[in-house]
Amino acid sequence: MILRRVISHVKNQEWTAIAIDFLIVVFGVFAGFQVNNWNEARQDRARAAVYTERLKAELHAELEYASALLQYNSVASKAGEAAYLGLSGQAVMDDETILINAYRASQYNWYERRRATFDEIVASGSLALISDVGLRETAIGIYNTPMFSIVQSEGQSSRYRDLFRMAIEPSLHRDLSENCGDREYATKGAAVGLLTIDYPCTLTVSPEEMAKGVLALRSDPEVARALKLRNAQMSGRMFDLESTIRVYGLKTLFEGQRTP
Q: What is the pLDDT along the chain (260 residues), one digit of tens a residue?
A: 555 655 565 566 555 655 665 666 666 666 566 655 556 557 668 888 999 999 999 999 999 999 999 999 999 999 999 999 999 999 999 999 999 999 999 999 987 788 999 999 999 999 999 999 999 999 999 999 999 999 999 999 999 999 999 999 999 999 999 999 999 987 766 777 789 999 999 999 999 999 999 999 999 999 999 999 999 999 999 999 999 999 999 999 988 554 44
AA letter at 117: T
Backbone angles phi, psi at 85, to 5 degrees: -65, -40
AA letter at 92: V
Domain extent, residue 72, equals 2-254
If DSSP codes are grouped into helix, strand and coil, which group holds residue 119? helix
CA-angle at 159, arms to 153 and 165, nearest 5°: 105
Give the residue from 227, 178, 189, 231 showing the smallest Cα distance to 68. Answer: 189
Is 89 a domain residue? yes
Is 259 a domain residue? no
Q: According to the model, what pLDDT value does residue 55 have?
A: 95
Is 11 a domain residue? yes
- Per the confidence metrics, is the pTM higher than 0.85? no
In 10 A of CB 20, how many CB atoms?
A: 13
CB-based contacts of 25, cutoff 8 Å, min separation 6: 2
Is 260 a domain residue? no
Does residue 231 contact residue 77 with C-beta atoms inside 8 Å? Answer: yes
Backbone angles phi, psi at 195, to 5 degrees: -115, 150
Q: According to the model, what pLDDT value does residue 260 have?
A: 41
Is 32 a domain residue? yes
Phi/psi region, residue 239 (left: phi>0; alpha: psi -120 to 50; beta: rest), is alpha
Q: According to the model, what pLDDT value does residue 187 have?
A: 76
Distance CA 18, CA 105 (A): 88
Is 210 a domain residue? yes
Distance CA 106, CA 229 (A): 12
The secondary structure of 167-223 as a DSSP string is HS-HHHHHHHHHHHS-EEE--SSS--SEEE--S-----S-HHHHHHHHHHHHH-HHH
Is 70 a domain residue? yes
Is 152 a domain residue? yes
Domain count within the chain: 1
Q: According to the model, what pLDDT value does residue 259 have?
A: 41
In 10 A of CB 170, how many CB atoms?
A: 8
